[in-house]
Amino acid sequence: MTARKTAVVVLAAGKGTRMKSSLPKVLHPIAGRAMVHHVLHAAAGLSPERTLVVLGKGMEPVARAVAPALVAVQDPPLGTGHAVLAAAEALDGFDGDVVVVFADTPLVTLDTFRAMLDRRRAEDDPAIVVLGFRPANPGAYGRLVVKKGKLKRIVEAKDADEDERAIGLCNAGLMVIDGRHALDLLRAIGCENANGEYYLTDIVAIARERGLDAAVVEAAEDEVMGVNSRAELARAEAVWQARRRLHFMDEGVTLTDPATVFFSADTVLGRDVTIGPNVVFGPGVSIEDGVRIDAFCHIEGAHVASGARIGPFARLRPGADIGEDAHIGNFVEIKKSVIGKGAKANHLAYIGDARVGAQANIGAGTITCNYDGFNKHLTEIGEGAFIGSNSSLVAPVKIGDGALVGAGSTITSDVDADAIAVTRAPQKALPQGAAKFRARNARKVKG
């Protein structure tokens, strides 16, 4: 690819009424990332000189979400050609290549953008490159009429004759336009149609009339999937997840039941990670090499160091930082806490706002009482400390290195290193008390 400059125009003015949502359509997430951010993320790989998002009137939440990208407003909405012209001021004098993409087509990849740009910059110098695909059912899609490798025209399905309807190559809507011609071609688009709108697809016929060539690059059908409803959002999520699972397995991750594991767009996994069934990764997770994550875990905003073992049925919440070779077991929840190397919390525990030292052991049923109704407080557990089962550590509190907390204790004061701390009421036994209790209650039932 040459060093020719690139601008990206993202069309995001659609209202998305079929979503039936107060959230703008393009902000609905796939893998925890808004659709428009998927498009911007892929396009950023082109290192564009200019990126502009075209919005409709009253779409301030989207404008805030896409910052620092430039924003243009299309008002009133008069078709896709009119939408691209809303970016005219930003494109004035730009002689590079203009990539036009839709914010509700979130699965398009950087490789496809690059293929389109490479074709635009080929020796035959086509003024326009259109992205095409071959759907299983062409139906209402516009057909791409290609002869001798050149795109002659785009024919809408309703206007196509029998031969044109038989064409399997369809218009995906994405384009790359030579910036030297872009504004002149866009301004030549008319609105002489039933809807009175300016269609971007008309630009191909206009270019041909002016002696300029157009070409086609093909993509897979699932890559150019548009999202206009909740059902289509779910299908796009499924495609994205399937694609990501294959990526991680190719990179050395074992998924014992791939279809049940769900990733976020920013999930990072090292090599030789093993992930059991029904594991969900929320945003902000990084997992180092050799980690094992057993079934039914939920992990979000967490870092897990090499060799650690998580689960089954564990929850790591934002701020969890799990050290090398640490064990976080079944029904253990970690929030905003550092767990040291080799430390263990194997059963039924809650560790929040804490620092747990290397090789410490947290017994079953232990909780850090970190919240007083107004503020969160820190619990510090030293290296090699042992916290007995069903203990409550009332923060702020510090358990020293090598200290031992007896089972069932409620600890409200600091415990020195290597000390034993026990808070437990004396045990009292009543001889034959159980037998007397049963007999007394049996008489009440008979009476």
Give domain status of residue 50, yes or no.
Answer: yes
194 shares a domain with 280: no
288 shares a domain with 193: no
201 shares a domain with 77: yes
Give domain status of residue 212, yes or no.
Answer: yes
Give domain status of residue 444, yes or no.
Answer: no
Give domain status of residue 189, yes or no.
Answer: yes
Q: Is the distance from CB of 126 to CB of 215 less than 8 angstroms?
A: yes
How far is 2 from 183, CA to CA, in rounded Å?
Answer: 22
Q: Which of 224, 250, 285 is the last residue of a domain?
A: 224
Give domain status of residue 441, yes or no.
Answer: no
CATH number at residue 135: 3.90.550.10
How far is 445 from 89, CA to CA, in rounded Å?
Answer: 89
Q: Which of 224, 258, 291 is the last residue of a domain?
A: 224
How far is 163 from 150, CA to CA, in rounded Å?
Answer: 18
Catalytic site positions:
347
- Give the N- to C-terminal CA distance of the chain in Å, as an integer: 95
Q: Which of 224, 257, 282 is the last residue of a domain?
A: 224
Number of domains in the chain: 2
331 shares a domain with 365: yes
- Which of 239, 262, 1, 236 lies closest to 113 in space, CA to CA? 1
54 shares a domain with 158: yes
Place of tokens 């071609």: 185
293 shares a domain with 207: no
The 10 Å CB-count burial string (b at 16+, else e) for 169-199 is: bbbbbbbbbbbebbbebbeebeeeeeeebbb
335 shares a domain with 202: no
CATH number at residue 246: 2.160.10.10
95 shares a domain with 33: yes
193 shares a domain with 53: yes
Domain range enclosing 265: 230-421
Q: Provide the 10 A C-beta neighbour count for residue 139.
A: 9
191 shares a domain with 329: no
Angle between helices 35-44 and 110-120 (to 10 degrees): 50
Give domain status of residue 445, yes or no.
Answer: no
Q: What is the pTM of this model?
A: 0.92
Give domain status of residue 120, yes or no.
Answer: yes
153 shares a domain with 37: yes
258 shares a domain with 215: no
Q: What is the pLDDT along the chain (447 residues), one digit of tens a residue?
A: 446 899 999 999 988 899 999 999 999 999 999 999 999 999 999 999 999 999 999 999 999 999 999 999 999 889 999 999 999 999 999 999 999 999 999 999 999 999 999 999 999 999 999 999 999 999 889 999 999 889 999 998 888 888 999 999 999 999 999 999 999 999 999 988 777 889 999 999 999 999 999 999 999 999 999 999 999 999 999 999 999 999 999 999 999 999 999 999 999 999 999 999 999 999 999 999 999 999 999 999 999 999 999 999 999 999 999 999 999 999 999 999 999 999 999 999 999 999 999 999 999 999 999 999 999 999 999 999 999 999 999 999 999 999 999 999 999 999 999 999 999 888 899 999 999 999 999 888 876
Point out which residues pair with 129 in neighbouring strands: 176, 215
Give domain status of residue 1, yes or no.
Answer: no
